[in-house]
């Protein structure tokens, strides 16, 4: 099939590459000429394991191409995927859908035959209805079908998640488009993926409801970790004991910093906003959002306690600053809240992240990016393990830091507590 992916961000690029790997002809379109030129050379603007190799392979096999020409890309495609951003609107909790609707207006101009228009972006309920209205205004002649096909890709695991999905959700009342989408995904369905057919609004809400529930699980175990710290209980025992219950499951039950990334923060706010529009009170999700917003301040309090409130001139090392491992995504990372507050109290911050320098900290005078773990740990007073990269799980702190007295705050509980104590280090974890 001939597919057009509008937007070469995380969703569009990963989905486009994976669809091409399944044998489809894919054109990825973006208005950013520099990005498109880089992609034509196989250079990937985001960090995602395995993505570069997949793109290069399909460029070579002429199954994927990149363009800024939206008109020809739409005209020459059977299915058009809208994969543009839906960030939180400034000064509001609602999703900013301006990019979605602008793209819809353009698509309407260039529909030259029956086409399926797919919202791959995360959008609130009724967005598909609005896209359909826009297309009808712009196109009086040719038929089309607007459907919802939400993505469920985890950063750092995106290619696997696409290739071996838990489910494929298609929201449409049109039998023809449902049949075509089923055929598109048939290579994955044949490997066991569950194909779920709903109406369009249901598919839109499935995505938001899923993210809100996962955010709730993270927030729940973080609050249980707070109780564990007060009652001398290891939260990991609680997570294991709960996770073995099939009704609950073990995933997303690891205590740590506040949830971040491109999805959970904005999507929890957006579903609350949608509910308010329909006069429905999502009190549980509202509480989740509030608790998560307080999480970084609570962990900062732990840092102050560890340092006996003597933060000024202390050298503090962050191991990892992205919101999770195996990604370079800094969006709503807890480090973005913690580091500026530590700086304001006079701390000197060093950080090492496997994905390199972060522009987000460029404006701060006393924040330094290190080119190695060794350099980041040299003569530091406190090590904060912020992100659970495998690189940090087996470090020999005796060799890397000659200071006799320094602290380790393991926000991800990835180190062996016993080994740290044996080496006469002062170790602090989460929920312990």
Residues involved in catalysis: 263
* 45, two tokens: 């603007």
Tell me the sheet residues that pair with 148.
119, 171
Q: Residue 84: CA atoms inside 13 Å, Cβ hemisphere, count?
A: 17
Residue 85 CB neighbours (<10 A):
19
Tokens of 426: 């002062």
Can you spell out the DSSP letters for 16-39? HHHHHHTT-EEEEE-S-HHHHHHH
Q: Which two tokens stand for residue 377?
A: 């740990």
- Cα–Cα distance, 64 to 232 (Å, whole number): 55
| DSSP 3-state of 281 | coil
Sign of CA dihedral 179, 183, 184, 186: positive
Output the CA–CA distances (angstroms, integers) from residue 306 to 137, 230, 300, 303, in the order listed. Answer: 62, 15, 10, 5
Spatial separation of the C-alpha atoms in residues 67 and 65, rounded to whole Å: 7
The CA distance from 380 to 404, in Å, is 10
Distance CA(121)–CA(203), nearest Å, equals 12
Closest CA to 316 of 357, 285, 344, 275: 344
Chain-centre distance for alpha carbon 141: 39
Query: How many angstroms separate the CA atoms of 221 and 182, rounded?
Result: 38
Indicate the DSSP class of residue 351: E
């Amino acid at each position: 099939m001939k597919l057009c992916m509008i937007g070469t961000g995380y969703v569009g690029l990963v989905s486009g590459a994976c669809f091409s790997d399944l044998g489809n002809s894919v054109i990825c379109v973006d208005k950013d000429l520099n990005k498109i030129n880089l992609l034509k050379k196989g250079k990937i603007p985001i960090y995602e394991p395995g993505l570069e190799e997949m793109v290069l392979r399909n460029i070579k096999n002429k199954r994927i191409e990149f363009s800024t020409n939206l008109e020809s890309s739409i005209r020459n495609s059977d299915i058009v995927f809208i994969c543009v951003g839906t960030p939180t609107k400034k000064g509001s909790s609602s999703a900013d859908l301006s990019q979605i609707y602008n793209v819809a207006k353009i698509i309407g101009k260039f529909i030259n035959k029956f086409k399926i228009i797919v919202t791959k972006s995360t959008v609130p309920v009724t967005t598909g209805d609005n896209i359909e209205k826009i297309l009808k205004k712009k196109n009086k002649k040719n038929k089309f079908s607007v459907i919802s096909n939400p993505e469920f890709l985890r950063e750092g695991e995106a290619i696997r998640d696409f290739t071996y999905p838990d489910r494929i959700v298609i929201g449409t009342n049109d039998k023809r488009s449902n049949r075509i989408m089923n055929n598109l995904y048939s290579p994955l369905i044949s490997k066991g993926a569950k194909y779920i057919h709903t109406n369009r609004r249901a598919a839109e809400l499935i995505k938001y409801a899923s993210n809100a529930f996962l955010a709730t699980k993270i927030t729940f175990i973080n609050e249980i970790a707070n109780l564990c710290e007060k009652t001398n209980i290891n939260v990991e025992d609680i997570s294991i004991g709960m996770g073995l219950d099939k009704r609950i499951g073990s995933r997303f039950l690891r205590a740590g910093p506040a949830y971040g990334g491109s999805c959970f923060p904005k999507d929890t706010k957006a579903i609350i906003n949608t509910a308010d529009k329909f006069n429905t009170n999502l009190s549980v999700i509202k509480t989740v959002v509030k608790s998560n917003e307080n999480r970084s301040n609570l962990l900062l309090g732990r840092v102050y306690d560890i340092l006996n409130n003597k933060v000024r001139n202390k050298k503090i090392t962050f191991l990892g600053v992205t919101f999770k491992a195996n990604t370079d995504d800094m969006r709503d990372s807890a480090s973005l809240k913690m580091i500026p507050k530590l700086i304001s109290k006079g701390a000197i911050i060093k950080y090492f992240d496997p994905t390199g320098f972060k522009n987000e900290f460029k404006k701060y005078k006393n924040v330094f990016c290190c080119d190695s773990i060794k350099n980041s740990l040299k003569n530091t007073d406190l090590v904060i393990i912020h992100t659970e990269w495998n690189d940090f799980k087996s470090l020999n702190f005796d060799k890397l830091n000659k200071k006799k007295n320094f602290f380790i705050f393991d926000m991800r509980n990835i180190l062996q507590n016993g080994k740290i104590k044996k080496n006469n280090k002062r170790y602090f974890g989460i929920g312990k």
